C-alpha cells in the first residue's frame, strides 16, 4: 500500500494520515477534507466506508470532527477539485477506512480562517493572538512554506558555491554593537546586548573561510509598530573575500536570487498558486544598476518623480518609480542602486577612491522596496581607525574587530537579506509579520 500521497496516481491503494480540516455530511455519504503539510486532500465517504475510534471500536461518520488526527485508507480516484487549497486538483481518495488517532478537547476548535472579521487590523490581531492554531490555515501554511524554501535554497546555493555556514553569537558585549536600537540584558552581572547583525563576525569569518554565510535571528529594538518592521527577524547574511570590487558581490547576489526564485517556483508551485503569487519576481541576466545620482537624474528627466537631484538618499516615491521604470524598460523586478554617500552608510563601507564622499555600497530594490543592503568593506586597519575617529567613535571599544584587520584581511564585501521581508515581497504580502511564524513587535511578545 502506497504511503506517500505526493506520488499517488488514480488506481493506487493508499494509507494517508493527517488532520481533519473539515467534514461535510451529504445524503449519500460525504467528504472528509484532510490537511497535510503539502495542502488539502479531498476524501469521499460512501456507504462502504468504516470508522474506528482510538480504541479500535467502530463509530460513525457523525462522530468525526475537525482537528482529529486520523489515518485514512482508500483508493485514489481521478477528480476535478475546485478548492484552491487542494495541493493536487486531479485526485481524491475514496474512503475505505478512517481510524481516529487523537482528537481535540472539544469540537469547537479555533476558527483558523477567521473569516468572520471584516477589517484587516482586527483579523491580523486575531490571527496573531491565536497563532498556535491559526497557522493551520492553508494560506498561512503556504507563506511559511515559501519562507522555509527560500532559506533552504539560500543555504544550498551558497554551499554549492564554496561558502561555509557559520554560527555567530547573538549575545555580544560592548563594542560589538552599539547605538540606540539594541536590546540590553544582564549576563551574570555584565550588561550585554542582543546582536543587531553578525556584521563583525561574518567579516572575521572571511579571514578564516574566504566565503561565509549565516542564517540566524537578528534584533532591533526599534519602537516601530509598522507593517514593514519586526523586532526579531531572520537575517540571511553573506560575506565573501578576494573580490575585485562590489560588482562581484552584486553578481553573486543576482545568481543567488535567480536560484531562489527558480527553487520557489518549482518546490512551492502549489503554495504560490494558492497565494495568487504566480507572478514571481523576474530577474534578467543582468540587473539594471545605477548610481544614486543617476537614479535622481533618470527619474527627473523622464518626468517620473519630482526633482530629487542632489539629495543624499532615495525618496520612497523614487524607490517605487525606479522599480517601475526598470520593469517597463528592462523587464526586471530588481534594481541595484549604488554609490550612496559615505555619511549615510555604516562606517565599515569602503569609500569610492574616485570620490571619497561616496561609498562602494549598494541597495537592492525589488518591487519598490529595499530588500538588501550590501557593498565592499574596508580591509585595512588604518582605514578603519581613520574613519572611526572621523565619526567620533572610540576605536578602543572595537579592539577585537580592528585586530582582525591588523592581522590581515583580503578585499571583501557582502550583503544581508531579511528573510521575512523577501518572503513577503515574493508573495505580494503587505504586512511582513505574516511572513514570521511568531512575530515580535513593540506590542507583541506572545504567543
Looking at residues 410 to 439 of the shown chain, list those that interact with a second copy (rule: CB under 8 A): 410-411, 419, 436-438
Element (H, E) at 330: helix 316-330
Q: Please give the Cα distance from 410 to 385 (Å, whole number).
A: 17
- End-to-end CA gap in the chain: 40
Diameter over CA atoms, the chain: 83
Does the footprint of a second copy cover residue 171 (CB under 8 A)?
A: yes
Among 93, 166, 252, 349, binds a second copy (CB under 8 A): 166
**383 vs 109, 199, 348, 356, 406, CA distance in Å?**
61, 17, 9, 12, 11
**Residues 17 to 46 in contact with a second copy, rule: CB under 8 A:** 17-19, 36-37
**343 vs 289, 359, 415, CA distance in Å?**
21, 9, 19
Among 30, 39, 74, 241, binds a second copy (CB under 8 A): 241
Q: 268: cis peptide before it, omega within 30°?
A: no
Helix (H, G, I), strand (E, B) or coil at 348: coil
Taking the least distance from each CB to a second copy, the nearer of 232 and 294 is 232
Taking the least distance from each CB to a second copy, the nearer of 114 and 315 is 114
**Residues 129 to 158 in contact with a second copy, rule: CB under 8 A:** 130-133, 135-136, 141, 144-145, 147-148, 151-152, 155
Quick note: the x/- pattern for a second copy over 365-404, rule CB under 8 A, is --------------xxxx-----------------xx-xx
Tell me the window of 26-34, 218-226, 298-306, 319-327 that interacts with a second copy (CB under 8 A).
218-226
**Residues 74 to 133 in contact with a second copy, rule: CB under 8 A:** 101-106, 109-110, 130-133
Element (H, E) at 346: none
Does the footprint of a second copy cover residue 59 (CB under 8 A)?
A: no
Burial class (CB in 10 A: 0-12, 13-18, 19+), 444: middle
Taking the least distance from each CB to a second copy, the nearer of 162 and 331 is 162
Does the footprint of a second copy cover residue 175 (CB under 8 A)?
A: yes
**Residues 295 to 324 in contact with a second copy, rule: CB under 8 A:** none
Least gap, CB of 261 to a second copy (angstroms): 18
| Cell numbers standing for residue 167 | 554560527
Amino acid at each position: 500500500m502506497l504511503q506517500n500521497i505526493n506520488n499517488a496516481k488514480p488506481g493506487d491503494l493508499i494509507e494517508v494520515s493527517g488532520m481533519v480540516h473539515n467534514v461535510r455530511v451529504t445524503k449519500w455519504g460525504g467528504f472528509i477534507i484532510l490537511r497535510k503539510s503539502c495542502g488539502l486532500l479531498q476524501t469521499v465517504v460512501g456507504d462502504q466506508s468504516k470508522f474506528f475510534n482510538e480504541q479500535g471500536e467502530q463509530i460513525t461518520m457523525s462522530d468525526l470532527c475537525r482537528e482529529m488526527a486520523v489515518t485514512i485508507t482508500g483508493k485514489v480516484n481521478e477528480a476535478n477539485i475546485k478548492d484552491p487549497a487542494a495541493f493536487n486538483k486531479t485526485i481524491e481518495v475514496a474512503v475505505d477506512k478512517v481510524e481516529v488517532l487523537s482528537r481535540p478537547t472539544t469540537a469547537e476548535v479555533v476558527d483558523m480562517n477567521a473569516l468572520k472579521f471584516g477589517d484587516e487590523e482586527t483579523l491580523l490581531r486575531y490571527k496573531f493572538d491565536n497563532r498556535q492554531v491559526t497557522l493551520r490555515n492553508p494560506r498561512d501554511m503556504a507563506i511559511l512554506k515559501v519562507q522555509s524554501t527560500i532559506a533552504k535554497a539560500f543555504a544550498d546555493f551558497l554551499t554549492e558555491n564554496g561558502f561555509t555556514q557559520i554560527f555567530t553569537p547573538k549575545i555580544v558585549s560592548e563594542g560589538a554593537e552599539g547605538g540606540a536600537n539594541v536590546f540590553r540584558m544582564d549576563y551574570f552581572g555584565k550588561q550585554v546586548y542582543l546582536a543587531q547583525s553578525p556584521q563583525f563576525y561574518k567579516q572575521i569569518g572571511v579571514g578564516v573561510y574566504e566565503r561565509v554565510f549565516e542564517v540566524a535571528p537578528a534584533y532591533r529594538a526599534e519602537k516601530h509598530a509598522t507593517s514593514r518592521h519586526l523586532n526579531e527577524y531572520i537575517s540571511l547574511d553573506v560575506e565573501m573575500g578576494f573580490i575585485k570590487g562590489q560588482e562581484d558581490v552584486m553578481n553573486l547576489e543576482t545568481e543567488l536570487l535567480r536560484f531562489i526564485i527558480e527553487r520557489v517556483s518549482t518546490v512551492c508551485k502549489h503554495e504560490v498558486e494558492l497565494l495568487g503569487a504566480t507572478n514571481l519576481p523576474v530577474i534578467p541576466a543582468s540587473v539594471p544598476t545605477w548610481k544614486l545620482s543617476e537614479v535622481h537624474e533618470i527619474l527627473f528627466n523622464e518626468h517620473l518623480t519630482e526633482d530629487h537631484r542632489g539629495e543624499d538618499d532615495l525618496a520612497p516615491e523614487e524607490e517605487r518609480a525606479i522599480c517601475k521604470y526598470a520593469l517597463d524598460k528592462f523587464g526586471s523586478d530588481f534594481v541595484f542602486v549604488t554609490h550612496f554617500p559615505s555619511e549615510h552608510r555604516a562606517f565599515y563601507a569602503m569609500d569610492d577612491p574616485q570620490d571619497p564622499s561616496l561609498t562602494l555600497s549598494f541597495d537592492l530594490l525589488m518591487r519598490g522596496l529595499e530588500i538588501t543592503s550590501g557593498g565592499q568593506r574596508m580591509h585595512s586597519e588604518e582605514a578603519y581607525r581613520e574613519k572611526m575617529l572621523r565619526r567620533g567613535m572610540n576605536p578602543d571599544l572595537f579592539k577585537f574587530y580592528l585586530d582582525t584587520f591588523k592581522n590581515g584581511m583580503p578585499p571583501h564585501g557582502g550583503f544581508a537579506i531579511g528573510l521575512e521581508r523577501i518572503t513577503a515581497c515574493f508573495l505580494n504580502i503587505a504586512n511582513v509579520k505574516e511572513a514570521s511564524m511568531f512575530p515580535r513587535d513593540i506590542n507583541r511578545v506572545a504567543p
